A and B are shown apart, each in its own frame.
Chain A
Amino acid sequence: MQRHLISAADLTRDDAVLILDTAEEMARVADRPIKKLPTLRGRTVVNLFFEDSTRTRISFEAAEKRLSADVINFTAKGSSVSKGESLKDTAQTLEAMGVDAVVIRHGASGAPYRLATSGWIDAAVVNAGDGTHQHPTQALLDAFTMRRRLVGRDAGLGKDLDGRRITLVGDILHSRVARSNVDLLHTLGAEVTLVAPPTLLPVGVETWPCEVSYDLDSTLPKSDAVMLLRVQRERMNAAFFPTEREYSRRYGLDGERMAKMPDHAIVMHPGPMVRGMEITAEVADSDRCTAVEQVTNGVSIRMAVLYLLLGGNEPAVTHARTSEEK
């Protein structure tokens, strides 16, 4: 039985809605004088980060601490990993210390899957982003943000994102956020459109459950939410696009473009934002941009995931398909 969260594609619609609903309740804890629950008292969670990501690690850490888990942070920098110790050895060392769950961020796609399925360890594995593969908690917090804004905080309880039109713009090819979002949003009934220069779309994207467009302007009026993905400047050197200026002219969101979106539509960004590249300061700082909200929601989502995976004697989250069927 699955005790892990590796891919957004593994979640059923009901699992995903349960996580979102649970996160709504977790969010209310943040409004209390004591922002802490005793739920994971005595459980040890290690944040195993082989890639620098202060934002994600802090978000997980806050979630773990609010649930009273004991938290161990392990970052590859300066550790034995840089001396050639393998993922397997590191994980086994940590498990020998009595870890109940491993939250792993790794530069190699599939590393969390290997950790969960290779028999190296018994602990539950939560994928905090692997290579260009998946980042399921990011997709969940994005869906949570969309549901709150587009359906309603209370009205959204028990509901999915049926028929909402979500547009993802930017470096789809190298984005684990895009992959996770396409999977989860499809499961939740949303209609997803990917917008990017053809160089930044993977070969094989035509089989994904979404539409693909090279033209941002024609897509904006038909979007309930527009999510901008970070475009790293170094991609320019690998000839994915000619210049920063040309990219932002064709695919960046500025105030003028934002005005083409329906009034209710929101602008999302998983961060960190490259202002002037995929988003202008004007858009980033507008009321319609949910970037800061997404950070707040991230803690609630991670609390919900940790509670549902670790809070009982077995996980509450079933899976749409087992790994063998994949």
Chain B
Amino acid sequence: MSKILIRGAKVLGGEPQDVLIDGATIAEVGTGLSADGAEVVEAGGKVLLPGLVDLHTHLREPGREDSETVLTGTRAAASGGYTNVFAMANTFPVADTAGVVEQVWRLGRESGYCDVQPIGAVTVGLEGAKLAELGAMHESAAGVTVFSDDGKCVHDAVIMRRALEYVKAFDGVVAQHAQEPRLTEGAQMNEGVVSAELGLGGWPAVAEESVIARDVLLAEHVGSRVHICHLSTAGSVEIVRWAKSRGIDVTAEVTPHHLLLTDELVRSYNPVYKVNPPLRTERDVLALREALADGTIDIVATDHAPHPHEDKDCEWAAAAMGMVGLETALSVVQETMVETGLLDWAGVADRMSVKPARIGQATGHGRPVSAGEPANLTLVDTEYRGRVDPAGFASRSRNTPYEGRELPGRVTHTWLRGKATLVDGKLT
């Protein structure tokens, strides 16, 4: 078996240490470890984290291979320091049967860049009317434990209640895309001062908050756990905080872009800023950062949503919603959370690896960097500063809101069970 010695890495941002990988496992962590025939990677003070886990990725395959495939998406993931991604169910066909989730799972295994855990749809065709065969998806080779109609909200209270109850049988979790459909008909951006001026259909915060409030109460009532996707408003934070204080089993995620960008950017009418949920206000951004720091929001999830150029190179109303995020997530978190003093690197590891792995029951991921653990690791050059150049993305799509923006940090190495998927910033 091959050995790799990572020399002088700040494990979780701590004092420099050496980490010896033997095969798929971390053999030893300490100082002054001898190379002894191992390939040596000089970390030179870079930060070593457990491989990142994304609970919210759109890989687009099957159906929209023009925007992303499992292969290109997992390459993007490896570039961004991820070793495990959860693939959302809104593909064509929808991942609402054992057959589709197994296909995605198999494609992930073949890619070799990153583990792919399919998410199953809650309802047939994401239509919100009839439960999909959740049990069959769980029992399939893909072993689905997270279910979501993401892109659409499970808006019917009875269906949501049943789903929350049903998945208890196999300890599954429903990840809700909280968006009250009637309140968001024709919605194009956050409803507020900017939408009033731009004349774009408003997407009120209450459309998200009312669904979250309902769902945490439902979860409490039926004794289930519920996960809230891409929480985006200060009000949502308050509701989740209240629910957690009541002991309700709720977890929540925030996207990198909601930690950084605001609806002021929409004044450019550039659809690269069009996303669901929409970019909110400065006040919301600050509340989300604070909530991620204090644990009210459990994790960062990218909502990586690739779209082909033509779906963004058009007028705002005609454009698709979503942004790619896998390759910039860690940099945005460094800028918004680490450099602001809200989180240390151990905190980043917790929010971007440990907790998402726990919520998604991803065995072998989100583990401590210590001897005997699987060698899923990410090495980050936190001193790096550079402008985002989408031309260098591994993703098939380029719809990033950060083009030309300077962001800190750069993932240089990623190891998936001891196998390097990224070396010196280049995919293997």
Contact = CB atoms under 8 A, between A and B. Distances in A.
B156 interface: no
A204 interface: yes
Contacts of B197: 179, 204, 208
B315 interface: yes
Interface in A141-190: 176, 179
A202 B316 contact: no
Contact of A87 (B193, B196, B199, B314): B314
Contact of B196 (A110, A131, A202, A323): A202
Given A114-B315, A203-B192, A207-B193, 14 more contacts: A107-B317, A108-B316, A109-B200, A110-B198, A110-B269, A114-B314, A131-B200, A133-B198, A133-B199, A202-B196, A202-B202, A203-B202, A204-B194, A204-B195
B318 interface: yes
Contacts of A118: 313
Contact of A109 (B310, B314, B316): B316
Interface in A204-227: 204-205, 207-208
Contacts of B202: 202-203
Interface string A99-127: 00000001111110110011000000000
A235 interface: no
A43 interface: no
Contacts of B204: 203
Nearest to B316: A110
Contacts of A130: 199
B165 interface: no
B54 interface: no
Interface size class of B (residues with CB under 8 A): 20 to 34
Contact of A202 (B195, B270, B317): B195
Contacts of B268: 117, 323
B267 interface: yes
B298 interface: no
Contacts of A323: 268
B349 to A, nearest CB: 38
A86 B199 contact: no
- Kindly name the residue among A106, A114, A326 whose own CB sees the greatest number of chain B CB atoms within 10 A: A114
Given A110-B269, A114-B269, A326-B267, A205 B314 contact: no
Interface of B: 188, 191-200, 202, 204, 267-270, 310, 313-318
A114 B199 contact: no
A297 interface: no
Contacts of A117: 268-269
A176 B196 contact: no
A106 to B, nearest CB: 7
A88 interface: yes
Contacts of B200: 109-110, 131-133
28 contacts: A86-B318, A87-B314, A87-B315, A88-B313, A88-B314, A107-B317, A108-B315, A108-B316, A109-B200, A110-B198, A110-B199, A110-B316, A113-B269, A114-B269, A118-B313, A130-B199, A176-B199, A179-B197, A202-B196, A202-B202, A203-B191, A203-B192, A203-B195, A203-B196, A203-B204, A204-B194, A204-B197, A207-B196
Nearest to A173: B196
6 shortest interchain CB distances as A-B pairs:
A204-B196, A133-B199, A110-B269, A132-B199, A108-B317, A202-B196
Contacts of A207: 193, 196
B199 A131 contact: yes
A172 B42 CA distance: 64
A108 B271 CA distance: 12
A150 B218 CA distance: 62
Contacts of A108: 315-318
A134 interface: yes
Given A108-B317, A110-B316, A114-B316, A204 B199 contact: no
